[in-house]
Structure 1
Amino acid sequence: MVDGMVSIIMPSWNTANFISESIQCVIDQTYTKWELFIVDDCSTDNTEEVVASFKDTRIKYFKNEKNSGAALTRNKAMREAQGEWVAFLDSDDLWMPDKLEKQIAFMNTHGYNFSYHEYEKIDEQDKPLNIYVSGPDLINKHKMYNYDYIGQLTMMYSAKHFGLIQIKDIKKNNDYAIRLQLYKKDGTECHLLKENLAKYRVRKKSISHDKLIKKLKSHYDLFHLCDEKPALIAFWYACWNMWYGLNKKRKYEKTSNS
């Protein structure tokens, strides 16, 4: 494990139209001690060619032998990580240039092992949707089971403290599953850095546009299959979680004119 190093996990599947910009925002970071693991889940577009155009030796590219889904793809990248810190950036999202520098300083200053920050939403053409997303100042285990307030592109954790994180093969909510694993290992608290340091891209085929029943099923699978809760308890958590999701939108998602 390399002190001060940030291992950045970037799964990819058919994001050739976006991944160049995502890689570039990592290269543009004011904090330069990082390694970027891109794991391509058998893309059928020219993702591999786009990644190959970047000659930075800090970028490590892997390609799955067969399509494996986001959970196993992230697991593969996390097994390769050598950094003291682990951060996540999907291959269509963006970071502000000082994201790593400010988040690491925030965690080192306060002695935190787990943190997240605020972000904004953009569309597929990089246009702002004027939606700003925040969250609770502190998220303990109880709050994390109520709802996943943490955007995947905003979280960072100490690999020294938590060790290797691996999750079960679930098709949706696998980013939430990572955070539940952190809480199961330690019962830690996640702290909010109150600054917008990222841009989350809303795409037309995103899971966020799934219908209600599909969302309920994906939450049930998370708690039952991945978190190993009994069926009735998993169903209760799934329903409770979705209710909290509505409350989260009202409380923590603000438009530019609200």
Structure 2
Amino acid sequence: MIKFSPNSSLPLVSAVIPTRNRPELVVRAVRSALAQTYPNLEVVVIIDGPDRSTVEALSDIYDDRLRFFELSNSVGGAQARNEGVRRSCGEWIGFLDDDDEWLPDKIWKQIEIANRLGKEFIICSRMIVISPNTNDVWPKRFPKNGESISEYLLNRTRFFKGEAQIQTSSFLISKDIFDRVKFRSGLKKHQDLDLYLRAANLDGIKFFFDENILSKWYIEQSIPTVSQNKDWRYTLDWASENSHLFEGSSLSGFLASQASTEIPPESISIALRLYIPIMMRNNARPIDYAILFLILLIRGEYRRKVSGFIRNIPKRNYASL
């Protein structure tokens, strides 16, 4: 039973958290959602398959706003999120990955914006990005006038990540919009990007970017994630099948800056024979080629260390917020 706040004029917001076999992390995420200053909130956790340790951990949280559901079989992250929304009651949905956190005013500030703009907007905010090498605030910039979401996200103007970003734990979406797009079940990778691009291509859906820093995103941690699964053939097939979602030269930007990170050293020559022709046909910019070759030359952990060094650890310790 959902207990609504005394102020019934406030719309109910549902925090949807998918998880599997990470009880300590999901408890941290749940507590950050329950600590919101926004009062009319429920937290819906979908446990993606039998997971007794997570059930026990969540059972120790005594808060009527929390509901959790253990699925009989694993359905994957995308469908788990869809299941969470299906079982939620809110007018607005805030997704929270089980290894991320919300800052206390996240929902208050985004609902204020949503009430002003309307339900056709997806409200995106800045986030603290925490990695072993550095912590920083992303995105560094928001879309320019006339810049599509695909071009904003994928057409880099600098060598390292963080310039442009939407991250699942950082946005708020109305249930009306989500019912039109949903996460595509069965995708092994690129579930979030797939949703952003499809939403941007639907009439009547807009993105709004807010200056506030409202969540914590933990990256490059020593825990498995979907994005760490390296399968460049799958990624290339996904991009080719969905090429209609990429505007301008953003498909080239995606291949250069994201797909290339999945190429193992022994497959570089094969991948280049496939990537370069596609990039040439899709108006690749000089910086796309430069990023591609930089990623191929400086592999994995070395690239992350170089990135952290060049960014220089910020003077402010954002991780302590």
Q: Which runs of 4+ in 1 moved over 6 A?
A: none
Counterpart selection for 1:175 from 192, 195, 206: 192
How far apart are the structure 1 equivalents of 2:180 and 2:44? 15
Which amino acid is 1:114 matched to? Answer: I
Match runs of 1:53-202 below 5 Å: 53-111=60-118, 113-123=121-131, 129-138=134-143, 142-144=148-150, 147=153, 149-161=165-177, 163-166=179-182, 167-186=184-203, 188-202=205-219
Select between 192-201 and 170-179 the one with higher mean Cα deviation.
Answer: 170-179
Shift of 1:178: 2.4
* SS, match of residue 29 in structure 1: coil
Are residues 16 and 241 of structure 1, via their aligned partners in 2, closer, same or farther at CA, if it must alter by over 3 Å?
Answer: same
Which amino acid is 2:75 matched to? Answer: S
Are residues 137 and 189 of structure 1, via their aligned partners in 2, closer, same or farther at CA, if it must alter by over 3 Å?
Answer: farther
Match runs of 1:192-231 below 5 Å: 192-202=209-219, 203-204=221-222, 205-207=224-226, 209=228, 214=231, 216-224=232-240, 227=242, 229=243
1:49 aligned partner? 56
Considering only CA atoms, is the larger Rg found in Structure 1 or Structure 2?
2
TM-score (structure 1 length as normaliser): 0.78
1:12 aligned partner? 19
% identical aligned pairs: 21
* SS, match of residue 208 in structure 2: strand
* SS, match of residue 29 in structure 2: helix
Between structures 1 and 2, the one with greater strand share: 1
Greater RCO (CA < 8 Å, at least 6 residues apart): 1
Are residues 102 and 31 of structure 1, via their aligned partners in 2, closer, same or farther at CA, if it must alter by over 3 Å?
Answer: same
How far apart are the structure 2 equivalents of 1:188 and 1:70? 24
How far apart are the structure 1 equivalents of 2:197 and 2:62? 36
* SS, match of residue 64 in structure 2: coil
Are residues 210 and 67 of structure 1, via their aligned partners in 2, closer, same or farther at CA, if it must alter by over 3 Å?
Answer: closer
Contact 2:11 2:40 in 1 (8 A): yes
Which amino acid is 1:120 matched to? Answer: I
Which amino acid is 2:174 matched to? Answer: S
Are residues 33 and 193 of structure 1, via their aligned partners in 2, closer, same or farther at CA, if it must alter by over 3 Å?
Answer: same
Shift of 1:219: 3.6
2:28 aligned partner? 21
* SS, match of residue 4 in structure 1: coil
After superposition, what is the alpha-carbon deviation per residue over 1:158-206, rounded to whole angstroms, capped at 9, x for unaligned?
A: 2235535432310211122222332243363312111211111222234
Are residues 59 and 19 of structure 1, via their aligned partners in 2, closer, same or farther at CA, if it must alter by over 3 Å?
Answer: same
Are residues 172 and 209 of structure 1, via their aligned partners in 2, closer, same or farther at CA, if it must alter by over 3 Å?
Answer: closer
* SS, match of residue 106 in structure 1: helix
Contact 2:239 2:251 in 1 (8 A): yes
Contact 2:149 2:197 in 1 (8 A): no
How far apart are the structure 2 equivalents of 1:13 and 1:41? 5
2:254 aligned partner? 241
How far apart are the structure 1 equivalents of 2:133 and 2:33? 20
After superposition, what is the alpha-carbon deviation per residue over 1:120-161, rounded to whole angstroms, capped at 9, x for unaligned?
A: 1235xxx89322211543487833266362011111112235
Which amino acid is 2:256 matched to? Answer: W
How far apart are the structure 2 equivalents of 1:151 and 1:196? 12
TM-score (structure 2 length as normaliser): 0.64
Are residues 91 and 198 of structure 1, via their aligned partners in 2, closer, same or farther at CA, if it must alter by over 3 Å?
Answer: same
Are residues 103 and 27 of structure 1, via their aligned partners in 2, closer, same or farther at CA, if it must alter by over 3 Å?
Answer: same
Which amino acid is 1:39 matched to? Answer: I
After superposition, what is the alpha-carbon deviation per residue over 1:7-27, rounded to whole angstroms, capped at 9, x for unaligned?
A: 222110111121111111111
1:256 aligned partner? 314
Are residues 45 and 141 of structure 1, via their aligned partners in 2, closer, same or farther at CA, if it must alter by over 3 Å?
Answer: farther
How far apart are the structure 2 equivalents of 1:220 and 1:187? 29
Select between 29-38 and 183-192 the one with higher mean Cα deviation.
Answer: 183-192
